[in-house]
Structure formats: structure tokens, C-alpha cells
Structure 1
Amino acid sequence: MIELSIAGGVAEIVLNAPHKLNALDGAALAELSQAYDDAAAAATLAAGSPGGVRALLLRGAGRAFCAGRDIAGIEAATDDVSGYLDGLLAPLLRKMSHFPAPTFAAAQGACLGVGLGLLIATDVVYVAESAKIGSPFGNLGATLDSGGHWLFTERLGAHRTLDLIYTSDLINGTEAVAAGLFSRAMPGEELLDFTRAAAAKAATGPTQAFIASKTLVAAIREQRLGLWDAVVLENTAQAELSKTADYAEGFDAFTAKRKPGFTGR
């Protein structure tokens, strides 16, 4: 159910099981993990090589991005929850968050459970205005997982987080963006084209500089860095970038008043 294609420097990964709203079982998680491995391997190719990857786009086919875990046929009494979450999902989310290029997601319809986790692990998320986001786990006698507690508490605060969890109410994409959960919301018919254009633009940019910013943002968020600690990291990153070909190209292009031709090196 997982499809990977590479063109124009962009890897596009598709969750393609629309008949079940792209819900993911263990086998699908393993497929998705392999797709990210394959895309990451392509990201290490020499600049300009056929199949080289400098950005990634994740999307779901059909009317939903991902409705969560596929629990069809699973018996609660024998369910290996730890094997699914700790053994498969958590390593995948870490892998996604450390992908060596900018990553984008286009999300429509249901973005729940594991689907929400996939979005949390993506750098930039664009959602359809009608997307559905929240925590319906109370209906299953379960709790929000896949990093959902972290995202909601950080962006919405404790009261709103527990409100969504206790009521199982869902918010739409417009509300989610207004609350700071994701980057932009737009009509569903515009979503894929917009996200593809953004990924394509990033794929022509200074990839190493983007990776440096990705690393800095992760450090600021995860280590709760203050201003001056962040400045130290920025200065170190800038000094390293000054040794790259794209840094030199950027300076040359600025001086010559032309558009830079970045290679990702």
C-alpha cells in the first residue's frame, strides 16, 4: 500500500489504501519505513545524479490522509501494542524526523492516531480546510499516542488538550492551523498542487543550509534552548556552511545580481 516515486529531486511517498482510509497495520509501517530508507539513500547521491533526492512529500490517496492504526482482525486480548508502537512506529517516526532533506506533507480528511504522528514527524504540514484532527481514542478505551499528547499540549495547552481527549471532538484543518498545530490550510482541491510546488522549490534550494535549520529547530524545541544558546548553535552552523559550494554560489549570485544555482552541496 506504500508507493515511492522520485522525480525532479523530490521523493513522493503515497499511503495508497483509500478503501480503508490509509489505516496502517504493522506490515504497512514496515513498508513505509523501507520507503523512507530508499528515499534517504537517494538523498546521498551526488548532486545532479539521476534519482537524487533533495526534498520529500508524504500524502495519502483518496479522501483521507491516514485514519490511524488498522485494527481489523486484531483481538484486544492478544494485541501486541508494544510491538506495534515501540517496535515499529516510534523508530519510523524518529527516522522521518531525521530525514536528510526538507520534508512536506499534504493532509486531507482524517489525520488521526498514527496519521497524526506521521504529520508530527514531518517538517512542514499543509492541510485541507476540511481535514479532521483530534483524539477519538476515548471511544476505544485507549489513549492518544504517536506523539499526539506532546503536540496538543505544546500548541494548545493542557485544558484544550484534555477537552479534545475527553470529548473525542475533532477540529478541522482551518482550526488546527489557527491554533498553531500545522503550517497552512487551504481548499482540498488546491492542497496537492500547492504542496508539490513547495517541495519542488525546496529541492532547488541550499539543501545543507536547510538541514542545518532543521537541526537547529529540533534542538531549540527538544532542549528548550534559550536565546543565547541558540545563537551559539546558529553561529557554529553558519561557520560550517561557509565551507559549502552553495554558500559560495549564493555569495557569487548576489554579487552578480543573478539567481543562484544551488546544487545541495
Structure 2
Amino acid sequence: MLEKRTGWSVYELSSRMGEDMSSIELEFRGGLAEIVLNRPGRKNALRREDWHALRQAIDSVAASDARALLVRGAGGDFCAGFDLGDVRPETTDAFAEIDQRVNPALRALRDLPVPTIAAAEGVCVGGGLGIAAACDLLVTSDTARLGAPYAAIGFLCDAGLHVFLRDTLGYQRAAWLIFTGRLLTAPEAMAFGLSCAALPAEGFVEKARALAQEVAAGPTSAFSFSKRIMRTAADPDAGLDAEALFQAQIFSGEDAAEGVEAFLGGRRPRFVGR
């Protein structure tokens, strides 16, 4: 259920379990949507209902006029993954939990047409790294520690990380992270190619939000096509064909006309995402 907080452009996705509420918050700031993973007492580890609420939040972004999405955690951490307090190997139906709760949220995030930016500080591990890696861009704080330490508890890596890490890092580095469970610092994540920027811890959320707002102010219709090409083109020929097809569509749009007019007039363009 989506509840609007009176007087704010903030929505709280609630899924009641006794007196508990889902720990997923969704806020709209002009053209930027912001999802906050908000269980700081558990390093934002997600329970069963939280994964469902995350999917709801992403669907709400898809149905909105938002032109970019920022995903972050509360309290100085990004996300510690699945809350192991909810997991009992002898009774938990692992297939159902992953197939019906975790994977739908990650697919929705991966398929969202607008640019997605993850802002990771503190702990970003397991399913939390899966959420971050499903985004288009990952920026980190100096405090970030990122990894997939499933081997330490005898679990198979999940949350899409086999493919997300392989596609981002290549087979060797992805396998090394999965097999060793090593946590990367922010500089190491940059060197690995896992993140695109490392920002100072002081004012991190504001800096990450400013970056996301910069992306949201861009020609997001063109960005949507770029995402489709980068995610789906199987080879260079397919990419070339897709570029020609989608560029023809962009040429007839408002942003292309505005971009050319602004360039010829020596001013900054004001894109509207169409």
C-alpha cells in the first residue's frame, strides 16, 4: 500500500506485519525519484515484506514522471542484503523467497527505463550489492565496503550477482569476488570497475543526489534508448542497427530540437525527457 505523508512529496510503502512496517521509502523531488532503504538498526537488511515493497516502489517510479532514480540507504549504510533473522535453512523455501520476492524487485529495477543511480556508503553486501549492481551507475562513499560474502555462511551467491558482476567486471574478477567473499573498499571498487565515482563521506547523500539530479536533467528519452542498447545488443552489428533505429526516433523529439537550438544559440539546453 502506498501512503502519502501529509505536506511532503514523500510516500511510505507499508506492509504490516504486527506493528512493523516496510522499511522502503519513496520520495519525489521534481524529476528525481529517491528510494531509501530504511532499517538503520539492521544496516538496512531487508525482510521478506521489504523486497515486495521495494518492487512496489520501483513500479511507482515507472508509473510516474520521474526522469531518474536514486537508491540509497539510511543511517550511513546502504544495505546488508537479506535479513538472516528471516531465514531458517530447515524451513525456508529458498526458491520461493528468491523467485517470488527478490528477483521481481531486481528485474523491475534492471528494466526501469529511466537512469538509476545507487549511492552506497558503509555496508553494501549480498543482496544489497545486488540492488546496487542492478542500477546503471554506482557511486560510493569513502566509508563503503562492498562484496558478496555468501561463502562465509555456505550459501550460493544470489540477488543476480553472478550475472551482474560478470557483466560489469568480467568473469575473472566476478569469480574472485564470489569465491573469496572479499569486501572491497571504495578505491578498490573504483579500480575494479564496480563503481563509477567515489565521493567524500561528508555530505555524501547531498553530493550523490546532486549527481542524480544532473542525470535527471539530461535528455532522458535518449538515455532510455541507450540503456536498451547496452543491456540487450548481442553484438556490434546489433548495436549499430539499434542506434540507427532509435536515433531516428530521437531526431523527431523535443529534446533533440532543444539541444540543436541551444547549441546554435550558445546556451545550455533545457531538456524535458521527450
126, 145, 153: which is aligned to 1:132? Answer: 145
Distance in 2 between residues matched to 1:39 and 1:247, nearest whole Å: 24
Distance in 1 between residues matched to 2:249 and 2:53, nearest whole Å: 35
1:261 aligned onto 2:270: yes
Residue type at the aligned position of 2:260: F
CA-CA distance at 1:229 after TM superposition = 2.8
Distance in 2 between residues matched to 1:109 and 1:58, nearest whole Å: 14
Normalising by structure 2, we get a TM-score of 0.86
User: Please, what is the CA RMSD of the aligned residues?
Assistant: 1.7
Is the contact between residue 126 and residue 191 of structure 1 (CA under 8 Å) also seen in structure 2? no
Distance in 2 between residues matched to 1:129 and 1:177, nearest whole Å: 11
Distance 1:260 1:169, change over 3 A: closer
Residue type at the aligned position of 2:62: A
13, 16, 19: which is aligned to 2:38? Answer: 16
1:235 aligned onto 2:235: no
Q: Where do residues 210-221 of structure 1 align in structure 2 (5 Å cutoff)?
A: 210-220=223-233
CA-CA distance at 1:144 after TM superposition = 1.3
Distance 1:153 1:36, change over 3 A: closer
1:80 aligned onto 2:89: no
Distance in 2 between residues matched to 1:78 and 1:205, nearest whole Å: 48
Is the contact between residue 155 and residue 179 of structure 1 (CA under 8 Å) also seen in structure 2? no
1:57 aligned onto 2:70: yes
The residue number in structure 1 matching 2:12 is: none
Distance in 1 between residues matched to 2:179 and 2:110, nearest whole Å: 29
Q: Which runs of 5+ in 2 are unaligned?
A: 1-22
Q: Single out whichever of 154-163 and 31-40 deviates more from structure 2.
A: 154-163
SS in 1 for 2:242: helix
Q: Where do residues 138-217 of structure 1 align in structure 2 (5 Å cutoff)?
A: 138-217=151-230
Higher relative contact order (Cα pairs below 8 Å, separated by 6+ residues) = 1
Residue type at the aligned position of 2:181: S
24, 31, 47: which is aligned to 1:25? Answer: 47
The residue number in structure 2 matching 1:248 is: 257
Is the contact between residue 120 and residue 151 of structure 1 (CA under 8 Å) also seen in structure 2? yes
CA-CA distance at 1:103 after TM superposition = 1.2
Encode CA deviations 1:187-242: one digit per residue, 9 max, x unaligned: 2224322211111112222121111111111123xx2x12x332221111110101
Residue type at the aligned position of 2:47: D
Distance in 2 between residues matched to 1:117 and 1:41, nearest whole Å: 23
Give the number of equivalent residue pairs.
252
Distance 1:33 1:197, change over 3 A: same
Encode CA deviations 1:29-85: one digit per residue, 9 max, x unaligned: 111111111121112xxxxxxxxx111111000131000101214321011111121
Distance in 2 between residues matched to 1:239 and 1:56, nearest whole Å: 26
Distance in 1 between residues matched to 2:137 and 2:168, nearest whole Å: 15
SS in 2 for 1:3: strand
Distance in 2 between residues matched to 1:159 and 1:187, nearest whole Å: 29
35, 43, 59: which is aligned to 2:57? Answer: 35
Residue type at the aligned position of 2:59: D
Distance 1:207 1:154, change over 3 A: closer
SS in 1 for 2:63: helix
CA-CA distance at 1:22 after TM superposition = 0.5
Distance in 2 between residues matched to 1:59 and 1:249, nearest whole Å: 32
Is the contact between residue 120 and residue 138 of structure 2 (CA under 8 Å) also seen in structure 1? yes
Distance 1:259 1:71, change over 3 A: same
Q: Single out whichever of 83-92 and 183-192 deviates more from structure 2.
A: 183-192
CA-CA distance at 1:104 after TM superposition = 0.9
CA-CA distance at 1:162 after TM superposition = 4.0
Distance 1:39 1:155, change over 3 A: closer
Distance 1:217 1:156, change over 3 A: closer
Query: 4+ residue stretches of structure 1 with deviation over 3 A?
Result: 151-167
